[in-house]
Structure 1
Amino acid sequence: MPTIAPLDLAGHCVDARFIRDVPFFSIADGTIHRLDNGHKTSQAHDGLLCAVPSHDGKHLLTGGEDGRICSTGLNGEVEELSHLPRKWLTAVAAAPNGAIAFASGRSAWVRAADATVREIVHERSVEGIAFAPKGFRLAVARYNGVTLHWPATNGAPTELEWKGAHIAVAFSPDGRFLVTAMQENALHGWRLEDNRHMRMTGYPNKVKSWSWSVKGKWLATSGAPAAIVWPFSGKDGPMGKAPLELGTRGDSLVTAVSCHPIEEIVAIGYSDGMILVGRFGDQKEVLLRRPGKGAISTMSWDTTGHRLVFGTEAGDCGVIDITA
């Protein structure tokens, strides 16, 4: 049976992940907690809104209600990378070349590796941002579609249109597909070689969590009483194919998903705090955590896939060791 090391924190856990194999928990009040030979805390923001790892995995990048983009490393020191007074920084992304992007209102900013910053203004508010796998393109989710920029050049952006509010965006690991989560209960996608549309509908709730499998063959998503897992292995992506449904429960919604870094399995977190792991091949399921306080809001594996870190909306956090 897996073992759980619990960590009871105060407030909504926005992000939980491993930084250099050390568990980091980002709480909405702006504190970052880490379990590194004891429980240690850093104050990064006056209100934390978003968090992602740096591309090299050595730091946690965060944005907050205080207009700051910060980087926190293993030593707990918080470095301010950018400060935009009176801005709520609602999204952050990291690129392989050391660039980072962040967003507030109708603007996205790209901070290059040399610390120069470029602002890109849009007609509508920027809801989500993501770098392509090689880091040269930046996707900006907005109302009625996505805008693709080449931040290092002054080239004209590419507009991908689809009516409705697009609130998050992600590239497939091979860069062939672009997927958005929408304000309505659906995903939309484009095959980038010809910008062909891909519709992924049927969700009873909004998709707030998604995760690509290790080789990008599957995209696991929340927003239903099961993890909805779309196949992306063929040239047409999920078009004409039914998704897998893993971990179906009649009384609880899936609120977070995280694909394993090595195996074709996915951790599935629910609105009642339960966590299962499901396998794509035979759809077998194993219980990792019984229901607890608050919905699972975030989960992430370590690089070996032996430990899973999780957080909830109530601050009921912890680390699960599946090898125990």
Structure 2
Amino acid sequence: MSTTVESPLAWETVVDDAPVALSARAGLVALAGAEGTVKVLDAATGAETGSFALPGGALSIALSPDAGHLVATGPLGYALWRRSDGRTTVRESGAWSAAAVWADGMGVSAAEQGQGRGKVAVASGRRALVLDAEGHELWRTEPAASTVTDLAWMRRGRRLAVAAYGAVRCHERHTEKPVATYPYLGSHLALAVAPTGQWICSGNQDASIHIWRTRDGSELTMSGYPEKVSRLAFDDTGFWLAADGAPDVTVWDFSGQGPEGRAPRSLRCHETVTALAWRPGAAGHLVSGGDDGTVALWHATAGRPQGRLRPVREQEGTGEAVTALAWAGPHLLVVARRDGRTRTYGVPSRTSL
């Protein structure tokens, strides 16, 4: 049975905007609001270390692995922020920019590293742009059939997966045309690539998850979800995939030969799932948020397939929907709600949470 336990509050901040995205890396937490408010906070104290506004509003935000740079994307373009001096470069391209993702630095050429600071891929209309950390364009993909909806790096920054209507296309460094194409007739809303690179998964408008095994292109579709699947997340091991698309969160087992023929675990707590985030590490801990403001912590890989798990810890909210979740390391959980309130809680490290 679940237990309602209030985790200790580390800090709280309130912005005059509705948060839509969080990113936490290397001691910083970045928060983006629907109207374009962007704030960068110290993960331990909540003290503000930077801020700017993205014209036209924000959709996503991503800190670089070392937290030295940040990119925010929105309906009219994107912006890059530099931690060392707070410099912000705004690119109002007029193109819908739904996502951005940093390469981890492995497999990144010296030129692409921007003097050691990595590279970032940004969705820009029907293309993906690859930039160095200072915002200089390194290369771009050819136009997709429709707006790019999500991005993921593979092979430690050597290959970029780009999701748009009808297919996920993969590009190598400086290749405008795709070097691999994984077709599926439908609108892809979310993209997740296993850390091993073995699996590419898309959550779709048609209430399905489509899966490709990269080594041979074999495919599998999990259909029958009552709602569109717009959130997917692999844990750090790459063995477990969490998805929304129903009141239950489903957790699929990708170990061995993958999920074919296996039933998922089901996690029931919310009427509508609004956010998902795996705890760093291999413990199998997942946090979910709902439209009622509840936050649930799960030992999501416990139990048996087809089993319905209950949260090991529940945190009641204010009634305001949870809009984003992030782990600032293994012991700090960041929760943003629609009313502009963001709180960070200390979470025990023991397996039972």
Q: When the two structures are superposed, what TM-score results if normalisation uses the length of structure 1? A: 0.88
1:274-319: CA deviations, max 9, x gaps?
011110224462334203243222111122x111001123323211
- Cα drift, residue 42 of structure 1: 0.8
Please name the residue that 1:224 is paired with.
Answer: 246
CA distance in 2, matches of 1:161, 1:227: 26
Indicate if the aligned counterparts of 1:270 and 1:295 stay in contact, CA closer than 8 A. Answer: yes
Partner of 2:332: 307
**Does 2:264 correspond to 1:239?**
no
2:121 maps to 1:101: yes
Cα distance per residue 1:109-133 (max 9 Å; x no partner): 1224683432322233222221114
| Secondary structure of residue in 2 paired with 1:88 | coil
Q: Does 1:178 align with 2:200?
A: yes
| Aligned partner letter, 1:29 | E
In structure 1, the residue matched to 2:168 is 146
| Structure 1 residues 58 and 228: CA distance shift in structure 2, 3 A | farther
Summarize deviations over 1:11-67 as a string: whole Å, max 9, x none.
Answer: 321212323223332212222234435542511412222212213344332123442
Percent identity reads 28
Q: Is the 8 A contact 1:45 1:65 kept in 2?
A: no
1:88 has 2:96 as partner:
yes
Contact 2:25 2:66 (C-alpha < 8 Å) held by counterparts = no
Larger strand percent: 1
Q: 1:165 to 1:52 in 2, by over 3 A?
A: same
SS of alignment partner, residue 134 of structure 1 = helix
Deviates more, 1:159-168 or 1:7-16: 7-16
Q: 1:234 to 1:245 in 2, by over 3 A?
A: same
Report the CA distance shift for 1:156/1:321 in structure 2 as closer, same or farther (over 3 A): closer
> Contact (CA 8 Å) 1:288, 1:320: kept in 2 or not?
no
User: Does structure 2 conserve the Cα–Cα contact (< 8 Å) formed by 1:132 and 1:139?
Assistant: yes
Aligned pair partner of 2:278 in 238, 256, 259? 259
> d(CA) in 1 for partners of 2:242 and 2:208?
13
Aligned with residue 2 of structure 1, among 7, 12, 16: 7
Code of the residue aligned with 1:252 in structure 2: it is E
1:172-221 CA distances to partner (integer Å, 9 max, x unpaired)? 11000001111121111100111111212232222232322121110112
Kept in 2: contact 1:63–1:70 (CA 8 A): no
Tell me how far apart the structure 1 counterparts of residues 127 and 23 of structure 2 sit (CA, whole Å). Answer: 27
The offset of 1:72, in angstroms, is 4.6
Show the 5 A alignment for 1:153-168: 153=175, 156-168=178-190
User: Structure 2 unaligned runs (5+)?
Assistant: 1-5, 109-117, 304-308
Change (3 A) 1:292 1:223: farther
Matched, 1:79 2:88: yes
Contact 1:125-1:142 within 8 A present in 2 as well: yes
Cα distance in 2, alignment partners of residues 314 and 298 from structure 1: 12
- Structure 2 counterpart of 1:13: 19
Q: Output the amino acid matched with 2:197.
A: G
Q: For the structure 1 residues 22 and 214, does the alpha-carbon distance in structure 2 shift closer, same or farther, using more than 3 Å as the test?
A: same
Conservation of the 8 A alpha-carbon contact between 2:275 and 2:322? yes
Query: 112, 125, 139: which one pairs with 1:118?
Result: 139
Structure 2: how far apart are the matches of 1:118 and 1:244?
Answer: 41
* 2:207 aligned counterpart, secondary structure: coil
Task: Name the SS of the counterpart of 2:312 in structure 1.
Answer: strand
Local SS of the residue matching 1:163:
coil
Is 2:32 the counterpart of 1:26? yes
